[in-house]
A and B are shown apart, each in its own frame.
Chain A
Amino acid sequence: MTATGSGQAAADPTDLDLVRLAQAGDLDAFGELVERNRRAVFRAALAAVGSATEADDVAQEAFVTAWCKLSGFRGDSQFRTWLLSITWRKAIDRRKRIGRWLKLAATPSRDEAGDDQFEVMDRVPSFERRQDVVLEGAELQAQIRKLIRTLPHKLRESLLLAGSGEHTYDEISAMLDAPVGTVKWRVAEARRVLRRKLAASGYSNE
């Protein structure tokens, strides 16, 4: 939905408008909220559980929980931030339950779930990458994914959430319950650790 003009602002309801409708029992309004936030919710869950299948389940649970708790949402914060916090808690619970993150982190969903589970167009990265990086080959990428798996939880989560392309630092800060400065430091630290390990593996002169 996009704004078509100043006189048609009502045609493009904000999240808060949709929340009010949903609180009154409008399931279609809640469906619109699901559509608007499905990607951010899914990727937040993916950063925590490391598996697309699990992340999809977490996303469903998060939306259902949000619907059940919607009457308690007062609008003090943005709906998206509130929803992402619910998602993150659900994802952490799921990760604790399955305890398989360490195995799945290095082999993300496309390796695990198979080609038939995802639309090919959904996998196309949404941001542009430099051509020379793409040409560096799969070996370095695989090595980096393997090293990301070995990062501590806090560094890995911050790095993945920041690299998802869907979350601002404020949202990540709310999800991780850490100040924005701490989140930024964790991202930088994660990159530094990865560079050091890559240098130790002979990929760099550092």
Chain B
Amino acid sequence: MSSNERFSRRALDDAIDGAVGDMMQLDPHPGLRRRVLSRLERSSRPRTLWTWGSWEVVSAAAVLMIIVAVVGGRWRQTPVEIAQTPTAPVALSAPVAPLAPSAPVAPLAPSAPVAPPVPASRPARNAMARSEAIFGPRRDRVSAASAARLAAEGEPVDILPPVHEQDSIAVAPIVMRPLPQMQELRIAPIEIQRLTVPALSPPR
């Protein structure tokens, strides 16, 4: 039917009733009663089992949680041992003195051979060894031993005082200084001065 056709009011009312009826005159899926009852039976069955076994389950869970908490607490308190991985042994020709703030620095031999941790067959290492063999030990290498030696030979060397470890870093107490007293804000009284306007000269 074309939409251009006209309908009376009663025909429209009937059409509305028909449309609403088509939308609403439906029934639920067959077996709603059976589905509802089976759902109710299903939901009531586990509840019974839960009631019977609830105390055992709850107490077992509580004991398990206590054990886990105790074991976990002990595990956290045990000191953590750091596994020391074996490192490549370094062969030193002279014993190295332990670091001490005021202890004199043990002189290091400039040409003390240090066994490399990697095989010496690498080309870079070979090249370095050849350059030292040709030009001799490098004299401008900065080290405490070289500085002491240069100072003993009379060359001007600035020897810095040994660095001492800071014993402790004390946190200075925070002192709250009182704020300076606020001065009272005084507003001077407003004086209204009379505005005098000079008389305009008459227009020319």
Contact = CB atoms under 8 A, between A and B. Distances in A.
Contacts of B20: 148, 159-160, 163
Given A64-B39, A141-B19, A195 B25 contact: no
Interface in A78-124: 108-110, 117-119, 122-124
Interface residues of A, number: 61
Contacts of A129: 14, 17-18, 21
A157 to B, nearest CB: 11
B30 A119 contact: yes
Nearest to A206: B9
A145 B6 contact: no
B interface bracket (residues with beta carbon within 8 Å of A) = 35 or more
A183 to B, nearest CB: 15
A163 B7 contact: no
Q: Taking chain B's interface residues, is the majority helix, strand, or loop, or is none over half, making it mixed? A: helix
B24 A160 contact: yes
A201 B6 CA distance: 10
A174 interface: no
Nearest to A191: B16
Interface in A36-77: 38-39, 41-43, 46-47, 52, 55-56, 59-60, 63-64, 67
20 contacts: A34-B33, A42-B27, A64-B36, A108-B26, A119-B27, A122-B27, A123-B27, A127-B21, A129-B21, A132-B11, A132-B14, A133-B11, A136-B18, A141-B19, A163-B20, A163-B23, A165-B21, A194-B16, A198-B12, A203-B12
